[in-house]
Structure 1
Amino acid sequence: MQRYRLVSVRMGPIALYCFVLLILYLSAAYLGPLFVFLFSVFLAAPILSLLLTLITLALLKYHQSFSSDHPRKGEEVVYTLAVSKEALLPSGAIRLRLIGTQQGMNLGLDDIDLYPSANRRFAFNHTIKCPFRGVYVVGLASIEVRGYFGWLSFNLPAWARTFYVYPRIVELHQTPLAEEGLTVSLPGATHGTEEDITLLESLKPYAPGDQVRHISWKKFASFGFPATRTYESSAQPGVTIVLDTRGDPEKDERTLEVEDCSVEIVVALVKYFSEAGVRTTVLGDGIEPFIFAGRNDEQFRRFHRSTVSIFFESELSPLRVLEEQLHTMSAGAGSVLFVTHRTDPEIFERCERSAARTGASAVVNLSGMGARERDVALRTVRLVRERGGSVRAVMSAETIGEDLSR
């Protein structure tokens, strides 16, 4: 929010006032009583202006109200600003500086200039649309009260309301992704691919490359050679969702729509897998990693609220993000699910290579593409699927549930 000085002095009007005062002084000295009177009035006028301005500052009242404190995505908030001056004395001009931003974008609230009449209430209404997730700041930045001569003004600090608009939560009742490219255990499945150290299977002679921590030292003493323990695969290998946060430097409604759609896809998938008891990890450049061991409603609420702080400003591909963060994940990545708004050849190649084993799937967000670009992307997705890759296309934010369920 821009800061304003409490007192502002304009040197141009002061210089003009001094020049006129000098002319009146010389005229009074040579032309007689009339100009003496005018000189005296002009000399006292700034003092009277300052006095009236201070009275206006003391008696000026304002009130702000909002039709909703917690707007949802797509809703509107009616902002009402009322201003009154509880005095009979006249006052100078008043400027109401309004602030209206969403993630740094201007919402189009213009400043208001008025001359408040005595004991009269002025009311202004603005409708604030909340079509996108994010942090909205709406209200008064400051109130500027000017003197009659315009060479002195006072800025009163004011306040603005901050709204957090969260993405929608789309319910998924099923998704073929869990059956195609993701080796995760949903209710009724018994397979898995990650070692579970609680499920001892057998012993085998130690070979170079085996983990030392799996050596059975008691059997070493009995056999005379090192033996390592092997384990069964866990039925909960988990899934790692990697969000593509590469952005467009020129932010407009189209790019915001695309970003929101990708975030809502991730939220829907996290809710679906975590409620099914699948270990779910969320990664992305500039995103705090979230790890769900299973269903945890409170953790999901924290994750959902945190999505207002996801900014699409990265220059790293999701594959690079995954590689950089894998070394910090003690349990491994499990199956990987990329959520991207680009037809990235590297992601598609990874999905094709992983078709026959635990590996990668992708959800491609096509919501911001034009008709021709969307047709090309759909042909690419179909080609990857024909080659065995697990890829799903989402056409728009309104069809997330339908597109991920078929």
Structure 2
Amino acid sequence: MSGVLGLVVKGIFFFYPVSLFFFTLYSYLSIRYTQNFSKEHLCKGDEVQYKLLIENSGALSSVIITAHFKKVHPYLKQELEDFKITLSPGRSIKKQYKVSCPYRGIYVLGLSTIVIQDHWGIFCFKISIWQRTFYVYPRLLTFTHYTLRYLGFSEGQLSNAIGIQNNFSLFAYMEEYKWGDPLNRFDWKRWLYRNQAVIKMYEQELTEGVCLIFDTFAYRNDIKNLEEWADQDCLIEVLFALLDYFVNNHIPLVLLIPMPEIREVIFSSQDDIQDFINHSLEICFSPEKSMHIVSKYFRMSSYSKRFLIGLSNDIYSLVDTSREYNNGNSHWIYAISRLPSEEIISFIQERNQGADHFSVINNSKEQLEELI
């Protein structure tokens, strides 16, 4: 009797682990999953609808299935929680998530691994899943002539920046008047005496154009401070809007930007802007004071006669640098994502004596959208 009992015990100790192994392996081979994302190309502020389906295609109930998710972004709190399930034959589970992308950067969405493990934790199989990476770019805003006037650019500054100007001393020909044509070139005498609505056309000549200098200063090396992260996004959005405006108006344009060495980027078409946007995640902000360095580079470059626009979210560097340019041929933009403090407003008023024009842009989400 004891011999038979011993054989039974040995059989259990041998066959149970073997059957458990094959049962776990069968579950591993039977599990199917699909992931769907509502968007492929994202801009700051977009939301992604993420749908996950895990199903058991086998004829047996599964062992324990654990779904592990990747962290969406190292500096954001939002996470997708891991979960455990068991599935009956032919059954599935569906999950739906809404993931927001409030800042530019690189986001990772979806599963990292699915772990199939028996109830005793003896055997384990892992399905490794290729990470789904989303590159979230700044929003693309559109500035008009009226936007720049609202931001504080004078008509004189804007005329200095125009790349193709009419030479009013060189008359070219007459052209039929169309709605929206400037009335200052309307030929009133011809209209009064001959009843012809025409405008005068003049020879055009190319001017120097615009040089943008961009400050990459940040108080910290990382972007764990979300307020500062939002400031940087606001600054970059203003930069892209200005690039778009000047290129659309055929104004010669060059950008001087530390990446980290000072880089000269020439823009003449929308393709140039799109190429720069595709590399915009390479723009790194650091505690190094770059505005003074870029400004010095500008003065030594062949672009020094161009209309100068400086962009920064460090008001102290911006004001100090602007005081070196009192020729009426520059404009300075201080862009942050929140209302400037009373201390900063007082600083601008005290230090901005005799400096060129300033614009203060705040709250990029609301103010900038109101401008366009």
- Partner Cα separation in structure 1 for residue 370 and residue 166 of structure 2: 27
* 1:267–1:293 Cα change, 3 Å: closer
Cα RMSD for the two superposed structures = 3.3
Q: Normalising by structure 2, what TM-score? A: 0.75
1:289 and 2:256 equivalent? no
- What's the CA shift string for 1:226-285, capped at 9, x where partnerless? xxxxxxx97224313313342533514323221211111111111122223332222333
Q: Which residue number corresponds to residue 186 of structure 1?
A: 162
Establish whether residue 320 from structure 1 lines up as the match of residue 296 from structure 2.
Answer: no
Alignment match, 2:153 = 177
Percent sequence identity is: 20
TM-score, structure 1 length as denominator?
Answer: 0.70
What whole-Å deviation, never above 9, does each CA across 1:113-133 have from its counterpart, x for those lacking one?
222222111111111112222
1:365 counterpart residue number: 335
Larger radius of gyration: 1
2:21 to 32, 37, 50: 50
Matched, 1:339 2:311: yes
Gaps of 5+ in 2: 168-204
Contact 2:211–2:303 (8 Å) recurs in 1? no
Q: In the TM superposition, what is the alpha-carbon distance from 1:65 to its structure 2 partner?
A: 0.9
Segments of structure 1 that go 5 or more residues without pairing to the other structure are 1-27, 192-232
- The 5-angstrom pairing of residues 3-402 of structure 1 reads 33-34=4-5, 36-102=7-73, 105=76, 107-174=78-145, 175=148, 176-177=152-153, 179=155, 184-186=160-162, 235-248=207-220, 249=222, 251-286=224-259, 289=263, 291-294=265-268, 296-323=269-296, 331-332=303-304, 334-344=306-316, 346-356=317-327, 358=329, 360-368=330-338, 374-397=341-364, 398-400=366-368
Compute the displacement of 1:107 (Å): 3.5
Work out the number of aligned pairs and report it: 327
Change (3 A) 1:354 1:103: farther
Give deviations 1:15-54, integer Å, cap 9, x for gaps: xxxxxxxxxxxxx9xx775465334313322211111121
Distance in 1 (alpha carbons) for counterparts of 2:104 and 2:27: 40
Residues 382 and 270 of structure 1, relative CA distance in 2, 3 Å threshold: farther
Mark the CA change 1:71 to 1:181 in structure 2 (over 3 Å): closer, same or farther: same
Amino acid in structure 2 at the alignment position of 1:388: A
Conservation of the 8 A alpha-carbon contact between 2:108 and 2:132: yes
Partner SS, residue 70 of structure 2: strand
Aligned residue identity for 1:53: T
- Secondary structure in 1 aligned to 2:315? coil
